[in-house]
Structure 1
Amino acid sequence: MDDSIEIAASHGRSFAGHIALPAHRPAPGLVLLHDIYGIDEPIKAMARRYAEEGYVVVVPDLYWRLSPRKLFKRHGDDVTLAHEFNRLLDVDHAVDDINSTFEALRDHPAHDGKIGVLGFGPGGKLAVLAAAYTDVDCAVGYCGASLEAHLSDARRLRCPVVLHLSGRISSAHDVLMRGKIRAAFEYKPGVTIYEYECGEAFTVPGPEFDRPSAALSYSRSLSLLKKTMGPIYAIERVWKRHSYHKYVTRDADAVMSTMVDDPYFNDVPTMTGGIGRESLRRFYVEEFMHSFPPDAQHVPVSFTVGVDRIVDEFVFRCTHTCEMHWMLPGVEPTGKYFEVAMVAVICFRGDKIDNLHVYWDQATVLAQIGMLDTAGLPVVGIQSARKVLDIARPSDTLMPGMSGGDDKPG
């Protein structure tokens, strides 16, 4: 549940903060620093997201000395006002308030362990300064040009730091600015820098939102937080339980219990799956769990477990004796045997599955079941999967002058 927290400041004063609590407590802490718009709904949503990852998240009101609980809309005249408030923000006072937030978090009964800081825009710059002037355990900064004024603080960094440098490179000054930031921070122990060619507000739904970059940066941020502070969940065990109920017991409720409240599934080649709990449950029951031929096999190739995702590479083989609308929508059973290499990417939010993406070469499947004439096309059939299982098989068989391999099942 989300709530507010009162934070004791210096000189006997106090200010408000927003708190989001994880399901499993006590837990490590994360101080989330808002951008120029204050503690608005997008920032609260981000706090909830990190709480789901297992952190006690506190968002301090960095504007309280100017105007307590001040919020700005992310469009219209408010944008100009927000920039003015940010210009008036005293950096030294802000760092002092962040340090006070650390102390309030340490005293909170839900907190146990280390504390990290993560900020956006000017909050990203302040996260870097917190890493230089406080005893925080790790810091993540989504920064832009504002960091250029604090290059000398790089030598004071006391903890691991991840910098996400955003903003479109449109001038020689932009190139120079990025170069200066890299020169100051890149070779400091424990500092990792990532660059994104998109607007500085790329993590927030709006005109500059960039979903792929936002998702990638989120995983990179989470990697630092998890490695430094935990919590580390047994995501492989969750995936095994999910798979067991999906393919063995075919218990849709048990499958959904391993997933977040708003999951999604996407078979990339056919765009089958579901978005949201009810839609995905219906897909599993009606189109997926009972749509596998009796001889279907999953042959493992590789299995990689990361901080917030699993990558499962395998070969799927079967005889097409039943409808498989998740893979071959609208295609009647052909009775043809086929093999295809597949990759599943399973992303987690905390200790539950957030989403799944499954990839395979549909042309390879269509060729094997007789729905695609490969003559004159750069397409192979069963050789593709066989090559994954046996790297000694011939390569370059589609190139002129090269001989092909076996195209027979078995």
Structure 2
Amino acid sequence: MQDPAATNSPRQIRIQASDGSGSFNGYLAVPRSGSGPGLVLAQEIFGVNQTMRDVADYYAEEGYVVLVPDLFWRQQPDVELGYSPDDWQRAFAFYKGFDEARGMEDMQAAITALRGRPEVQGAKVGVLGFCLGGKLAYLAACRTDADVAVGYYGVGIDAALDEADRIRCRLALHVAELDGFCPPEARERIVQALRGRPNVEVHVYPGVDHAFARVGGEHYHRASALMAHERSIAALKSAIGPHYDLAALWDKHCEYEFATRNVDDTMSTMVAEPYVNHIPTMTGGVGYKALHHFYTHHFVNSNPPDTSLVPISRTVGASQVVDEMLFCFTHTTEIPWMLPGVAPTGRRVEIPLLAVVKFRGDKLYHEHIYWDQASVLVQVGLLDAAGLPVAGVETARKLLDESLPSNTLMG
């Protein structure tokens, strides 16, 4: 069984301040491999709390050595707040007392400390920040020797746009359209000032508020958070890595599923808690235990012997692979994940199928699998296509030969 631990044991380290005033704590999370590019995670105004540690662990699973420095240490060491009204008041007090110039010196000290650690491959270090940390990520691109910077809903960036000419590395900013801490006029100044600059990208997320990427938060918006994460990983990987052969990893996973048909080998290619969702039938599993059960009893050993996957196209992104293929089989056995409860009909089925496969680091995180279920039902004889806007095997044939007639269902 796969080890459920996503990373090596995280730990606290000490970071020496560059002004000689002392040292401060940092939370360090290391990937399973024990090494990778470095990433300094700049905190929200709530300190190095559980949310920040969870984000650090998440990015360690992506393959980064993550350091979260205690940036409020000059006011009070080891601030760790929640999100109650009282904690909000305390957090704003720390924010108002934060010395930004000294804070950026501490950010550089953290970058330097991380760059010197043996776990960091190639001495490449990026910066990722949220809220207060979002502005510090922008300033890191202007003032530090970071190799890349990514900022989420940074507060006060509009007041520091005079530093934009000093941006020296790739910078990606995620801005919430409805952010009460960044009103429309401030957001527009940011967009206009940074638009068109080389290696700078600004993404505005419509209809979402501040902290839209904080899991469990009041304004969490999953779709926007997922899109922002994809863009963040693309920016980080392009500048500092890590670089994995995602296509080869996906091919190996498919080999275990359809060729050798070994469930444990299949699961070994995935993260500790993966999930699979076959969109048309909502079959699959969430988490190691449920997915292992699904693969064992409903998938790996349930596909007909003549099942084949015919590749049509493949797109490889920063953290995912999208495969377009033909999925072909003769319905000689029950296929619970595609035709649950349907006895074998002996009929031939050929359908276009799309797989969106997401990775964390060098392991599969999830699969979203799409196909036209109506076409399947037509081909196995459970749906009469007459008078309905659906087609059978014709959809597969036209995918291979675009010269076949179009608009045949339109009369």
Tell me, yes or no, if the aligned pair for 1:340 and 1:382 is still in contact at 8 Å: yes
Match status 1:45 vs 2:65? no
TM-score, structure 2 as length reference:
0.93
Partner amino acid for 1:15?
A: F
Shift of 1:25: 4.0
For residue 156 of structure 2, give the secondary structure of its aligned residue in structure 1: helix
| Number of the residue aligned with 1:166 | 176
Q: Does 1:185 align with 2:194?
A: yes
* Cα drift, residue 81 of structure 1: 2.2
Q: For residues 140-289 of structure 1, what are the structure 2 equivalents within 5 Å? A: 140-168=150-178, 174-197=183-206, 198-205=208-215, 206-289=217-300
> Distance in 2 between the 1:256 and 1:42 partners?
28
Deviation, structure 1 residue 295: 2.6
Give the Cα separation in 2 of the matches to 1:390 and 1:149.
56
Distance 1:29 1:330, change over 3 A: same
Aligned match for 1:373, one of 378, 381, 384: 384
Residues 1:294 and 2:302 aligned together = no
What is the match of residue 316 of structure 2?
A: 305
Gaps of 5+ in 1: 401-410
Deviations 1:33-71 (A, max 9, x none): 111111111211111111122221100111111111111
Moved more, 289-298 or 323-332: 289-298
Instruction: Report the AA paired with residue 286 of structure 1.
Output: H
> Aligned equivalents of 1:386 and 1:71: distance in 2?
60
Q: How many residues align?
A: 399
Q: 1:225 deviation in Å?
A: 1.0
Q: How does 1:52-67 map to 2 (within 5 A)?
A: 52-67=61-76
- What do you get for the CA RMSD once the two structures are aligned? 1.7
Identity %: 45
Name the residue aligned to 1:5. 13
The structure-2 alpha-carbon separation of the partners of 1:169 and 1:26, relative to structure 1 and needing over 3 Å to count, comes to: closer
Give the AA of the match of 1:4: Q
Tell me, in whole angstroms, the C-alpha distance in 2 between the residues paired with 1:16 and 1:224: 27
Q: What is the rounded CA distance, in whole Å, between the counterparts of 2:174 and 2:230 in structure 1?
A: 12
**Is contact 1:145-1:177 (8 Å) kept?**
no
Q: Is contact 1:155–1:188 with CA below 8 Å preserved after alignment?
A: no
Matching residue's letter, 1:161: L
Q: 1:96 aligns with which of 88, 105, 111?
A: 105
CA shift, 1:132, in A, is: 0.3
Instruction: For 2:183 and 2:405, locate their aligned partners in 1 and report how far apart those are by CA, in whole Å.
Output: 48
Question: 2:383 & 2:78 partners in 1: Cα distance?
Answer: 62
Deviation track 1:379-410 (CA, whole Å, cap 9, x = no partner) reads: 2222112111111111111223xxxxxxxxxx
SS at match of 1:398: helix
332-341 or 74-83: bigger deviation: 74-83
Task: Find the counterpart in structure 2 of residue 78 from structure 1.
Answer: 87
Q: Which residue of 2 is the match for residue 348 of structure 1?
A: 359
Q: Which moved more, 1:387-396 or 1:371-380?
A: 371-380
Matching of residue 118 in structure 1 with residue 128 in structure 2: yes
SS at match of 1:112: strand
Alignment deviations for residues 167-190 of structure 1 (CA, whole Å, 9 cap, x no partner)? 42799x943322211111122211
Task: Determine the C-alpha separation between the residues in 2 that align with 1:232 and 1:126.
Answer: 26
Post-superposition CA distance 1:49-104 (Å, at most 9, x none): 11122221100111111111111112332123212321221111111110111121
Q: 2:137 aligns with which of 108, 127, 135?
A: 127
* AA partner of residue 165 (structure 2): R
- Where do 4+ consecutive residues of structure 1 move more than 4 Å? none
CA distance in 2, matches of 1:213, 1:39: 24
Gaps of 5+ in 2: 1-8
Is the contact between residue 37 and residue 120 of structure 2 (CA under 8 Å) also seen in structure 1?
A: yes
Change (3 A) 1:23 1:234: same
1:134 is displaced (CA, Å) by 1.1
Following superposition, the deviation at residue 221 of structure 1 comes to 0.7
Any idea what the Cα deviations from partners look like across 1:188-219, whole Å, max 9, x if unmatched? 21101111121221111222111121111111
Q: Distance in 2 between matches of 1:74 and 1:156?
A: 35
Aligned equivalents of 1:240, 1:295: Cα separation in 2: 18
Alpha-carbon distance in structure 2 between the residues aligned to 1:50 and 1:159? 20
TM-score, L = length of structure 1: 0.93
Cα offset, 1:144, TM superposition? 4.5
Q: What displacement does 1:372 show?
A: 2.1
What corresponds to 2:331 in structure 1? 320
For 1:280 and 1:56, the matched residues in 2 are separated by 29
Comparing 388-397 with 329-338, which one deviates more in the overlay? 329-338
* Cα distance per residue 1:120-157 (max 9 Å; x no partner): 01101001001101111110011245222112121111
Contact 1:34 1:120 in 2 (8 A): yes
Query: Which of 372, 395, 400 pairs up with 1:361?
Result: 372
- Which residue of the partner structure matches residue 14 of structure 1? 23
SS in 1 for 2:374: helix
